[in-house]
Structure 1
């Protein structure tokens, strides 16, 4: 059994002690289970985050939809090749208003549907935000820039945002992906996806930078040895809080040094 129940008020207090400030813009990655028993569940957690940020703060979460992709690259599980044309023809197009996020937990889905939430318009790597900066942060997200210079990640960097790892590790730190775009000659992927266009649903392909979080735990360990990272407990979860800008700058140098050169272009997994 957990030591004690967590509440909206207790979690907001923990977030404030961790260093979250009113008016902050924060990109949150979360594990609801890690917090312990929360009275009110995910709803109370989102309310606590918004309480800690105050009316001038903005909460951002990833709302990725990686299942809207070319079935020829599916591995977990794969599907028969004879199905591929059917999936490409009938996969529902990404609609920021209704398409659910995939594999990111309960909190991002709740934020995505929160009153006043704004979601970016990328069929694979969208984000959602609640707060006064939401519309500006989510405004630009073209198809061929999943997590790069014209994505919400770069907008978060420019805005002086922070990253909150709420009971999760550096392997979930989406901000590090922005640094992958800044490695000289990054390898590229070809992606396929279903999108909405003015003339209706369409299957499209595009080329973009390879993203890979396999070494982000090692990257994060190196980062927090040399840069300010706040540590603390929120509920029962071990958490980290740090600024996006120095994290991306450090990651770009670390990745350039530690990643092996890859083929310039290949098909997406």
Structure 2
């Protein structure tokens, strides 16, 4: 029989979460890059739908919400490790993986809140077949396009435009290992390592094509340590949202700090190409 919630717990509602977000410092008109752990918020009446409503309430009609809607499974199966697949499957996967479609390709590993925003009326999604973002709000289209293949999370991506926009990052129960903004810093360190990446894309005439491009090799394994160091600067506002610990900070300040920190703390090393450059952010259930 499932364990009951302790009497100290209570259901979280849309007004509760919106009030907590405002108390944290989220303001009307904000542009927010949001990373969520739905489970960490506690039992939410309405689950991910309620969380999106609360976020929209906090930023108001002039604000814009952005979430990562990455599709790391659209990649070469030879590099998969979670889980790996038999080598005998590789050619089939390469031949049959559907081409990325911003309108219909799900973001199954990113969690329920990003997927809810991706499918929300009026959402705009960027076109990168592996590292797309989705946005809601008046600045959504301008922030999401373009998103060139070779700039997965770099200077031509929505991340760089979010930096220019003065966006803030909201970690809503998520850890710094989920902080996509830090990846922009990986493009800015001297001589960043590169690696090939392959995926299925849709050509301008509507056909499917398996393509390979070269991009910066991304690695979030040291992002928790990076985030801890960044907090020491005092740039991060921390507080409760529901049952979660939330963190709010300027994206540009985080990227500038991360660029310097990575240059000092990452030893030069050869890249083996085995890392799949698409972090996973499972939200889990609301209860």
Q: Aligned partners of 1:267, 1:170: CA distance in 2, in Å?
A: 22
Aligned to 2:15: 9
1:30 deviation in Å? 0.3
Aligned residues: 269
Verify: 1:237 aligned to 2:252, yes or no. no
Root-mean-square deviation (CA), in Å? 1.2
User: What pairs up with 1:47-196 in 2 under 5 angstroms?
Assistant: 47-196=53-202
1:7-46 CA-partner distances (Å, limit 9, x unpaired) = 0011000000000000000000001111111111111110
Compute the displacement of 1:82 (Å). 2.0
Structure 2 partner of 1:216: 223
Any stretches of 5+ residues in structure 2 without a counterpart?
277-287
CA contact (8 A) 1:187 1:265 kept: no
Point out which structure has higher relative CO (alpha carbons under 8 A, 6+ apart): 2
Cross-structure match for 1:250: 257
Moved over 2 A (4+): 262-269
Change (3 A) 1:264 1:215: closer
3-state SS, counterpart of residue 28 of structure 1:
strand
Q: Which runs of 5+ in 1 are unaligned?
A: none
Deviation at 1:77, TM superposition (A): 1.9
Deviation string for 1:81-109 (max 9, x for gaps)? Answer: 22211111111010000000131110000
Match of 2:285? none
1:24 aligns with 2:53: no
> Contact 1:154–1:178 at 8 Å: present in 2 too?
yes
Partners of 2:80 and 2:274 within 8 A in 1 = no
Q: How far apart, CA to CA, are the structure 2 residues paired with 1:266 and 1:165?
A: 29
TM-score (norm 2): 0.91
